[in-house]
Structure 1
Amino acid sequence: MDNPSPPADGPPVDAFSNVFHVYETRTDGTRLFYYGVPLDTADSVEQQIWPLFRDNGYEVTLTQQTGEHVLVAEPHTTGTRGFPWTNVLMALLTILSTLYAGTAWYYIDITQNPLDIVQAFPFALAILGVLGVHEFGHYAMSRYHGVDASLPYFIPFPTLIGTMGAVIRMRGRMPDRKALFDIGVAGPLAGLVAAVVVTIIGLYMDPVTAPAYVLSDPGSVQIRFNNPLILELIATAVGRPLEYADPAMSVNPVVMGGWVGFFVTFLNLLPVGQLDGGHLVRSMIGERQETLAALVPAVLFGLAGYLYYFHSSSNAAGIWFFWGLFSMGIAYAGPAHPVHDDPLDAKRIAIGVLTFVLGLLCFTPVPIEFLS
């Protein structure tokens, strides 16, 4: 039997009856369900009803359940829900994993005294600082635009830097292209600023010297991190070396925080799916972004093949082959779809172009080499 009366706190059905005819309403906890018949396209319905539900404190989505069209409205919230235990735990674990990774960069032996691990704190702070600033850039702009987002989740992992990065989870709808652009661009630009600052600080810190037992070990493998152009430009600008005549000496590991920041910026600016670059291009050129995104895996696979067959760099080829597979997956998942899809203003488009130029300065075709 029809029950078109609105649930408590929901907008009256008459307010959007011109685009969605409601014949039944239900509630399930804090969620509201409006069953009915859409009188326009799904995009048009959502564009017209979204402000009404947002004014009443709800996020709304038009979907289908068992063959019926239904508006599902959930309470709109931003920020954290209670104490972020998971975020804190993962952050603490990542601090430990980056400290442990840092002991190798500083040649710290913790077998005799495990507390010596704290000596790697500058490295851990540099890595987590750059990654954290990037993600908090997204988070701050999400709060500004009223889009629900989680605090950053740091990911501990036994890599050369002790982490697989950090992410935030976007739970709310993007109201328009401006919000999509601002949230997408905030992370790379904030992260770039942090990476530049960390790089300069690291270049002015004392270099580290490999102990004799490391240099004389016939089984040791030298790992070379090739520098992107932006890092070379920074070193030239401040007049500090990136390499030393003594092969036992290397720049302070804090510089690696900047290197990681630049590399992460380039990867995030790949114009595909839900990556930052995908958000930017989707907001700048609209639905044509999906055509551009389809080319990204092919370019990365081509780069991997070139490095493998003509540069004899299987490690770098493996990196770009992995990212080709990854980008193919997220391209298939598709980009974000803002509720209101009006074109972006010229000022933001110019900032977007500049951001991609800066991203290209962060690129190096062979990021890591293993030298025996």
Structure 2
Amino acid sequence: MMSAPSPEDRPAPETLSSVFHVYEVRERGERLLYFGEPLANQQRIMEAVWPAFREAGYEVHLTRQTGEFVLVAEPRSVGEDAIPWTNVALFVATVLSTLFVGAQWYYVRDPLSTAIVSAIPFTLAVMGVLGTHELGHYVMSRYHDVDASLPYFIPFPTIVGTMGAVIRMRGQIPDREALFDIGVAGPIAGLLATVVVSAVGLMLPPVAVPEWVLAAQSTVEVEFGYPPLLHAIAWQLDAPLVYDDPTKVINPVVIGGWVGMFITFLNLIPVGQLDGGHILRAMVGPAQERIAPLVPTALFALAGYLFFVRDVGQVVGIWVLWGIMAAIVSAFGSARPIDDSPLDGRRVAIGIVTFVIGALCFTPVPIQIVGP
């Protein structure tokens, strides 16, 4: 966290006069409101005034209040001011939900019993890849002095016990370099954790399917579609992903690696505030807004192909849902850094490699459920 800036340090109205004519300054608590008339477009104003406010310890944005233009300055805070109880509660809830779901992957008959501890490796795998991804964003945000929250885990009794994790960006992005670094840090960190988790899981022994599961009429079979990256890791380790023996299934830790790859691909979809949107916006600038509308179209086309050509009805809903989400986040637009100068060639190359690796995490049919 940072200490509150002193009122004496606030930018003087005359220092803003080249782009914003200030006729009144008000204080509302720790916030400063500069009422005035803009003398340039919003991007130019922010480029001119943001450095002065940042140096004085404020975040600033231009808005309108009751018909007047206002520069609203709020004290910057990088880090947490107190124990983040919401983050802690969600983390604990997600640990419990992944333990509960993971116990079923280990064929624990009563997941509410102490036998649930057998699912700890699964929970560590899933929480590890998700947490590493989000901590990559958080660490790089701190490096660039951009205010961001700690990860918020999302507990949900899905097939893996969670809907992922997110961090909340509370500060403005200073330039394309920061936008790129923050955006790419999550997928890269998460991929490293995913490769490690996948390799460990493939080296662990398979799980035996109990007789009571094989005999139950209500038993369903879950078939995972493994992406090329997971196949490559399995090939390198000479480890099977599927067993011929129906009484053996892959160790659930591998599912943690599968989760990491699936989440990586989804996050690298190049629209809006997704990681891929940040990376592409930093790489190509405003041209990203012309590319973004193509993404939901591609996802809807994929859903149509799977439904009409492949006749894989179950998975269609996943890509229709993500097509809708991509359209929504695309409509909200991407992040706009204060300094929109072009990105350097080294980072562009890293971005291209990241998208290529992300493509290796893609599988058109990620999961299917075969009924009893």
Q: TM-score, normalised by structure 1?
A: 0.97
Matching residue of 1:3: none
Unaligned residue ranges in structure 1 (runs of 5+): 1-5
Q: Partner residue of 2:33?
A: 33
CA offsets, 1:17-69, max 9 Å, x none? 12111100001111100001111111111101100000000011111111111
Secondary structure of the 1:188 match is helix
Give the 4+ runs in structure 1 shifted more than 4 A. Answer: none
Deviation at 1:218, TM superposition (A): 2.4
User: 1:100: how far off?
Assistant: 0.2
Partner of 1:308: 307
Question: Over residues 250-288 of structure 1, what are the superposed CA-to-partner deviations in whole Å (9 max), with x where a residue is unaligned?
Answer: 111000110000000000000000000000010000111
What is the CA-CA distance between 1:309 and the residue it aligns to? 1.2
The aligned residue for residue 64 of structure 2 is 64
- One-letter identity of the residue aligned with 1:92: V
1:131 aligns with 2:134: no
The aligned counterpart of 1:340 is 339
Matched, 1:371 2:359: no
Asked whether the equivalents of residues 263 and 362 of structure 1 are also in contact (C-alpha less than 8 Å), the reply is yes
- The answer for the alignment partner of 1:212 in structure 2 is 211
Deviates most, 322-331 or 207-216: 207-216
The CA distance in 2 between the partners of 1:125 and 1:95, in whole Å, is: 9
Question: What amino acid does structure 1 have at the position aligned with 2:332?
Answer: A
**Is structure 2 residue 106 aligned with structure 1 residue 106?**
yes
Q: Which residue identity does 2:144 align to in structure 1? A: H
Cα distance in structure 1, aligned partners of 2:361 and 2:53: 42
1:7 and 1:26 in contact (8 A); partners too: no
Name the CA distance, whole Å, in 2 between partners of 1:248 and 1:324.
38
CA distance in 2, matches of 1:217, 1:115: 23
RMSD: 1.2
Q: Which moved more, 1:50-59 or 1:72-81?
A: 72-81
Does the Cα contact within 8 Å between 1:269 and 1:278 map onto a contact in 2? Answer: yes
Taking the aligned partners of 1:256 and 1:124, their CA distance within structure 2 comes to 10
Q: What's the counterpart of residue 85 of structure 2?
A: 85
Q: Aligned equivalents of 1:173 and 1:290: distance in 2? A: 19
User: Equivalent residue for 2:263?
Assistant: 264
Q: Amino acid of the residue matched to residue 278 of structure 1?
A: G
- SS at the partner of 1:26? strand
Q: Deviations over 1:205-233 (max 9, x none)?
A: 11101111211222211010110000000
Deviates more, 1:214-223 or 1:362-371: 214-223
Query: Are 1:50 and 1:60, in contact at CA under 8 Å, matched by a contact in 2?
Result: yes
- Give the aligned length: 366
Shift of 1:85: 0.4
Which residue in 2 is equivalent to 1:45? 45
Any gaps of 5 or more consecutive residues in structure 2? Answer: 1-5
Contact kept? 1:283, 1:344, Cα under 8 Å: yes
Aligned partner of 2:202 in structure 1 is 203
8 A contact 1:207–1:249 mirrored in 2? yes
Q: Distance in 2 between matches of 1:219 and 1:109?
A: 14
TM-score (norm 2): 0.97
State the alpha-carbon separation in 1 of the partners of residues 60 and 23 from structure 2.
17
